[in-house]
Amino acid sequence: MSTRRDFLKGTGAAGLSALLGPSLLQPAAARAEQLTSAGVWKTSGSHWGAIEALVKGGQVAEVRPLADDPHPTNMVNGIQGLIYSPSRVRYPMARAEWLDKRKDADRTSRGDNRFVRLTWDEALDLFFEEMERVQVSHGPSGLYAGATGWRQTGQFHSCINHMNRAVSMYGGYVKKAGDYSTGAGQTILPYVLGSTEVYSQGTSWPLILDNAKTIVFWANDPLKNLQVGWTCETHEPFEYFDQLRDKIASGEIRSISVDPVRTKTQKHIGAEQLYINPMTDVPFMLALAHTLHTEGLHDQEFLSVYTLGYEPFIAYVMGEAEDGVEKTPEWAAPICGVPVDTIKEFARLLASDRTQLIFGWSVQRQQHGEQPYWMGAIIAAMLGQIGLPGGGISYSHHYSGIGVAPSGASMPGAFPLNLDIGVDPVRTDDNFMGASSTIPVARWIDCLMNPGGTVEHNGHTVTYPDIRMAIFTGCNPFHHHQDHNKMRVAIQKLETIVAIDYAWTATCRHADLVLPACTQFERNDIDSYGSYSRSGVIAMKKLVDPLFHSKTDFEIFSLFCKRFDREEEYTRGWDEMEWVKSLYETTRSANEGSYEMPSFDEFWEKGIVRFERGEPWVRHADFRDDPEINALGTPSGFIEISSRTIGNYGYDDCGEHPKWMEKIERSHGGPGSEKFPLWLQSCHPDQRLHSQMCESDPYRATYAVKDREPVYVNPEDAAERGIEDGDIVRVFNDRGQLLAGAVLSEDYPRGVIRIHEGAWYGPVDASPNALDTYGDPNTVTLDVGASKLSQATSANTCIVEMEKFKGEVPQVTAFGGPTSI
C-alpha cells in the first residue's frame, strides 16, 4: 500500500526546512477532475474522507475513496444513496394546518406528516413574516436559533454560520451553550486540568507507541469513531493502531479496554477487555485510588508539586470524611462488577510502568458525567506521569485525527458570522425581559416546558426565556435530543418551527415550514484536509446541480436577507466561487513564508494541497517542565484534585471533589432495574454519522434487520425472552417504545443492549407514546441534566425491557418524505 508517508519521503529535503513546498497528490490520486469516455471523475471531501465521484450525464454514477486514503471507511459506499435518497426534501413545504392558521393552528397534530408544497417566494415570505412577528412581539427571547449539529463539511457552506449570520442581521435570538458530545467533560475539565481537554490536541502516537508499556482505552472505541472527522477526514491515525496491534502481539505493549462491551478496537488490536458494569466507573476508580494510596503506589512528589486538594479527596476515599465509607475494592466490587483482585491487580499494573490512559466521551454522556472524568485526572495525577511521553491522560484520541503530529499550517476559515463584520441588525432590541440570552444546549426542551423558570448552570442561574419560534439547520433535534415523547409535548409550546435540511428527517416531519437545502455534493467548497492534523487543504467540487428545488444554504439565506434589504451585506456581493477563492487566498497569505501554497487555479485543478506532519508532541509536557511559568488554566494553575470554586457553588450533584452518586436509574442491581433490567447504550454508529446516511436506502439495507435498526443483545438475555436472531422486538420503558431488529452477539454482556444513535425516528402516528417503527433509541432515553454544573445530556443513563413483538408489524414510517396533500 502506498501511503502518504512514502510519498512525503519522495519530497527529499523538504522535511529539513521550515519552508515547505506544496506537496500535491500523486498524479494517480490527484485528478480533481478527469475526463474519461465514461464520464468525469471529480474530487471532493467529506466527514467520511476524501472521495472521487464519477459523474455521467449529470448523475453521480460511482463514488470511491480517494486512492491514497490509508483506511477508507465503508460509509463511503452510502454516499450515492444519500444523494439520491427517496427521503430528500424536494420542495419548500408547509405543514397543512399551520399554513391556514399559523400561530393559532392546532399543534397537537405536529408529526402527522401532512404538508403542502410552496414556491420559494411563498416559503421565504412566510419564514420572514414569522421571524419578524416573533421578534416584534416577543423580542430576541422569543426566537431560538442557536443550532448545534454535524452539518456536512465545507468551510464556505457551513450552514449553521449562514443561518446565524442571516438571522442576526435582522435581530437577536436565544443562543445555546455547550454541545451534546462532551457537555459534562468540557465543563468539568477546565476546573481540573485548565482546559476542556476533549477538544485539545493529544500526545502524538509515535511517542505513545515508543514509551508506553500499558495503554488503557477507557470507554473508548477509536477504530469505530475515527472513521469520521469534523472536517474532511484523512484517516491517518489508523496506521498507529496497526503498529499498536503488532506491539501487543509481540508483548511490547499491554492494552486494556475498560468497557462493558467487546469493542471494534479490542478486536482489531487484540486488547484485553476489563468488563465493568455500566455507569459504575466511579466506584471502580475510587477503589483504584484506594489501592494506589494504601499500597504506597501513588507518586507523592508529583502530587505535592503539581496538584492541589489531594487531602480532602483521599479522606473521602479512606472513609474519614463525609459518608464515612471506606472506598475499598471490597466496597466497589459488588457495584462495578469487577472482582476485588482484578481491581487491585489493575491498580498495580497502572503504577508498575509507563501507562497512557485514553478516555472516550460516552462515559460522560450520563448522569453525573463529570465524575468519571475528574476521577480519571486524579488517577493519572496519582500515577505521576502527566506530561511524560506515553504517560498521563487523554480525553480525545478517538476524535478527528487527534494524535497525528499536526502541521503548523493555517487552515481555511469559515463563512463569517455577523459578529465578525460589524453589520448593525435591523432590530436592535437586546432586551431579554429578565431571561437569559443563552441556555445550556441540552436543556432546551426543559426551557420550552418552563418559561421563566430557573436552572443552575456552572456557577450561574439561568432564567429560561419564553421561546415562541425555533429555526433548525444542520442539526436534527428529533434524532439528537432525548425522550421524544416528552419533546413532542414540549414543542407544542412553539408557534413556529422552521427546518432547513436536504433530508426529510423527523425534525422536518415535526416542523411547520421546511426548506430544501442541497447536499454538499451539489455545491463548490473548500475544507481542511484533516481536522487536527492540519494535513492540507482540499477542494470540494460540485458533482451535480442541486436536486429537485433545493438550493445551497447560501442562496437560501441571501434570498431571505433580501426581504429586509441586507442581501448585499450578507453576500458582500460575492458569489459562491468568489467566496471559496477568498477563503483560499486568506489561508495562502496566512501560510506565506511557512507553507507555500499554489495559485487558486492550480489548487482547484489539482484538488489538494498537502502539508508535512509536524514534530511529535507531548500533552502537558510544558506544565511538567515548569508548573509555575506554564501554569494550567485552573483557578490555582495546578491540577485541582479538589476544587474550592466548585465546592462554593454548593451543588448536591457535583461537589468539591469527585464522589460516587447513585444514578436515577441503573441496570445491574441499580434503581429501577427490577422493572427494567437492561441498560440501553446508544453509542455512535459504526455505519453512519449520527442520523446522516440512515436515509441511504441501499446502504441501510446492508445492516438493517427486517427493515429495522439493529438492537444488539446477549444471546442469553435474548433466550430468556424467547427472542431469536432476526426477530423484530419491542424495546420499552415508561418513557416510550420502539421496534428494532434483534442481533444476538456475545460482544454484549448480560444486561447490556445497544441501539446506535441516529436511527431515524418513525412514530406510527402523532399520538402520545406512539410506537417508533424503525428504532430510534432517543424514543426511550432519559432527558435530565447531567448535573447542576454542566446540565449536559444524560443519554446513556437509560434502562429498558424488551420483548418479542407480537401482532401485526407496522410499516416503517421513518423514510420517504411527507404525505403531501
Is 150 an interacting residue with respect to ligand MGD (CB under 6 A)?
Answer: yes
First-last CA distance in the chain: 55
Is 261 an interacting residue with respect to ligand MGD (CB under 6 A)?
Answer: yes
Structural Rg of the chain based on CA atoms: 26
Contacting residue, 68, 69, 281, 612, with ligand MGD by CB under 6 A: 281
Answer yes or no: are the C-beta atoms of 89 and 118 closer than 8 Å: no
Answer yes or no: are the C-beta atoms of 653 and 188 closer than 8 Å: no
Is 159 an interacting residue with respect to ligand MGD (CB under 6 A)?
Answer: yes
Which one, 234 or 362, has the nearer CB to ligand MGD?
Answer: 362
Answer yes or no: are the C-beta atoms of 189 and 198 closer than 8 Å: yes
Total of chain residues touching Mo ion, rule CB under 5 A: 1
Residues 692-721 that bind ligand MGD (CB under 6 A): 692
Residues 418-457 that bind ligand MGD (CB under 6 A): none
Q: Provide the 3-class DSSP secondary structure of residue 549.
A: coil
Is 681 an interacting residue with respect to ligand MGD (CB under 6 A)?
Answer: yes
464/406 Cα distance (integer angstroms): 41
Contacting residue, 186, 291, 307, 473, with ligand MGD by CB under 6 A: 473
Using the rule CB under 6 A, give the single segment among 53-61, 622-630, 776-784, 806-814 that binds ligand MGD: 776-784
Residues 172-201 that bind ligand MGD (CB under 6 A): 180-181
Contacts of 284 (CB under 8 A, 6+ apart): 258, 276, 332, 336, 338, 343
**Among ligand MGD, Mo ion, none, what does residue 155 contact (CB within 5–8 Å per kind)?**
none
String marking each residue 381-420 x if it binds ligand MGD according to CB under 6 A: -----------------x----------------------
Which one, 141 or 737, has the nearer CB to ligand MGD?
Answer: 737
**Among ligand MGD, Mo ion, none, what does residue 659 contact (CB within 5–8 Å per kind)?**
none
Which one, 591 or 778, has the nearer CB to ligand MGD?
Answer: 778
Supply the DSSP string of 324-374, one letter for each residue. Answer: -----HHHHHHHH---HHHHHHHHHHHHHS-EEEEE-SGGGSSTTTHHHHH
User: By Cβ distance, which residue is nearest to ligand MGD?
Assistant: 360
Which one, 476 or 643, has the nearer CB to ligand MGD?
Answer: 476
Is 480 an interacting residue with respect to ligand MGD (CB under 6 A)?
Answer: yes
For 542-547, which contacts have Cβ atoms below 8 Å and span 24 or more sequence positions? 542/42, 543/42, 543/44, 543/53, 543/55, 543/60, 543/83, 544/55, 544/58, 544/59, 544/60, 544/83, 545/58, 546/518, 546/522, 547/83, 547/84, 547/88, 547/90, 547/518, 547/519, 547/522
Contacting residue, 214, 458, 682, 813, with ligand MGD by CB under 6 A: 682
CA distances (Å), 57 to each of 53, 88, 607, 659, 715, in order?
13, 20, 22, 63, 49
Which one, 475 or 713, has the nearer CB to Mo ion?
Answer: 475
* Half-sphere exposure at residue 129, Cβ-oriented, CA atoms within 13 angstroms: 10
Contacting residue, 113, 181, 307, 520, with Mo ion by CB under 5 A: 181
Is 151 an interacting residue with respect to ligand MGD (CB under 6 A)?
Answer: yes
Work out how close the CB of 96 gets to ligand MGD at its nearest, in angstroms, rounded to a whole number: 22
Is 690 an interacting residue with respect to ligand MGD (CB under 6 A)?
Answer: yes
What is the biggest distance separating any 2 CA atoms in the chain, rounded to whole angstroms? 79
Total of chain residues touching ligand MGD, rule CB under 6 A: 62
H-helix or E-strand spanning residue 314: helix 310-317
Work out how close the CB of 550 gets to ligand MGD at its nearest, in angstroms, rounded to a whole number: 9
Q: Which amino acid is at 294?
A: T
Residues 205-234 that bind ligand MGD (CB under 6 A): 218-221, 224-225, 227-228
Work out how close the CB of 12 gets to ligand MGD at its nearest, in angstroms, rounded to a whole number: 36
Using the rule CB under 5 A, give the single segment among 175-183, 314-322, 707-715, 741-749 that binds Mo ion: 175-183
Answer yes or no: are the C-beta atoms of 418 and 561 closer than 8 Å: no
Closest among 233, 240, 265, 223 to 76, alpha carbons compared? 233
Q: In what order do the strands lie in the sheet with 143-144?
A: 143-144, 469-473, 496-501, 513-516, 93-95, 114-117, 819-820
User: By Cβ distance, which residue is nearest to Mo ion?
Assistant: 181
Place of cell 453509542: 683
Contacting residue, 22, 149, 391, 749, with ligand MGD by CB under 6 A: 149
String marking each residue 364-383 x if it binds ligand MGD according to CB under 6 A: -x------------------
- For the chain, the residue count is 821
Work out how close the CB of 684 gets to Mo ion at its nearest, in angstroms, rounded to a whole number: 7
What are 17's three cell numbers?
526546512
Work out how close the CB of 363 gets to ligand MGD at its nearest, in angstroms, rounded to a whole number: 4
Tell me how many degrees the CA angle 794-798-800 measures, rounded to the nearest 5.
165
What are 414's three cell numbers?
469559515
Q: Provide the 3-class DSSP secondary structure of residue 52.
A: strand
Is 362 an interacting residue with respect to Mo ion (CB under 5 A)?
Answer: no
Using the rule CB under 5 A, give the single segment among 181-189, 243-251, 370-378, 449-457 that binds Mo ion: 181-189
**Pairing of the two strands 737-744 and 608-610:** unpaired
Is 683 an interacting residue with respect to ligand MGD (CB under 6 A)?
Answer: yes
Is 517 an interacting residue with respect to ligand MGD (CB under 6 A)?
Answer: yes
Work out how close the CB of 728 gets to Mo ion at its nearest, in angstroms, rounded to a whole number: 29
Contacting residue, 361, 432, 504, 603, with ligand MGD by CB under 6 A: 361
Closest among 798, 801, 651, 796 to 718, alpha carbons compared? 801
Contacting residue, 76, 145, 174, 363, with ligand MGD by CB under 6 A: 363
Work out how close the CB of 770 gets to ligand MGD at its nearest, in angstroms, rounded to a whole number: 18
Using the rule CB under 6 A, give the single segment among 296-304, 599-607, 685-693, 722-730 that binds ligand MGD: 685-693
Which residues are bridge partners to 94 per DSSP? 116, 513
**Among Mo ion, ligand MGD, none, what does residue 76 contact (CB within 5–8 Å per kind)?**
none
Which one, 147 or 303, has the nearer CB to ligand MGD?
Answer: 147
Place of cell 519521503: 9
Which one, 22 or 154, has the nearer CB to ligand MGD?
Answer: 154
Contacting residue, 502, 732, 748, 760, with ligand MGD by CB under 6 A: 502
Which one, 501 or 727, has the nearer CB to ligand MGD?
Answer: 501
694/479 Cα distance (integer angstroms): 11
378/623 Cα distance (integer angstroms): 16
Using the rule CB under 5 A, give the single segment among 173-181, 242-250, 300-308, 579-587 that binds Mo ion: 173-181
Which one, 366 or 634, has the nearer CB to ligand MGD?
Answer: 366
Which one, 263 or 773, has the nearer CB to ligand MGD?
Answer: 263
**Among ligand MGD, Mo ion, none, what does residue 540 contact (CB within 5–8 Å per kind)?**
none
783/434 Cα distance (integer angstroms): 26
CA distances (Å), 491 to each of 345, 469, 785, in order?
51, 10, 18
Answer yes or no: are the C-beta atoms of 236 and 278 closer than 8 Å: no
Is 475 an interacting residue with respect to ligand MGD (CB under 6 A)?
Answer: yes
Binding site for ligand MGD (CB under 6 A): 149-152, 157, 159, 180-181, 218-221, 224-225, 227-228, 258-261, 263, 276, 278-279, 281, 360-363, 365, 398, 473-476, 479-480, 500-503, 505, 517, 520, 553, 681-686, 689-692, 757-758, 777-778, 781, 795-796
Binding site for Mo ion (CB under 5 A): 181
